[in-house]
Amino acid sequence: MFSVSGKTLKFAVVAKFQGVFFDQSGDGCREAAAALQEVECIYLAPKKGDVRIQDKMIEQLITDGIDGIAGSDGADGADGADGSDGAGGTEL
């Protein structure tokens, strides 16, 4: 992959909170970016599930000119409180 503009493309993964599942998605993003030229992955996650903090992270990324964002909205048991692995959720 290459950038038409010649700049590094920056993509972010914004997780609902720090945890094994979400951290693995950040690892995968960074590994994929490392395999590509001119691509960077930024992984962000609040320590605890807080949609307001997650929203501020996303707003800052947009202000900073991020090229793409992947995230979790925390629906369908994605907070892990139901005993799941926190992998649920819906697409943003």
Q: What is the rounded distance in angstroms from the CA atom of residue 50 to the CA atom of residue 30?
A: 24
Taking alpha carbons only, the member of 5, 45, 11, 9 closest to residue 30 is 11
Cβ proximity of 45 and 12 under 8 Å: no
Dihedral of the alpha carbons of 24, 27, 33, 36, in degrees to the nearest 10: -90
Please check whether residue 11 is in contact with residue 68, taking contact to mean a CB–CB distance below 8 angstroms: yes
The fourth-level CATH superfamily of domain 9-71 is Response regulator (3.40.50.2300)
pTM listed for this prediction: 0.71
Q: What is the sign of the dihedral through the CA atoms of 19, 53, 55 and 80? A: positive
- For the chain, which residues make up each domain, given as ranges? 9-71
Mean pLDDT by 10 residues, the chain (92 residues): 74 94 93 94 94 95 96 61 46 41
Tell me how far apart the alpha carbons of residues 27 and 13 are, in angstroms, rounded to a whole number: 10
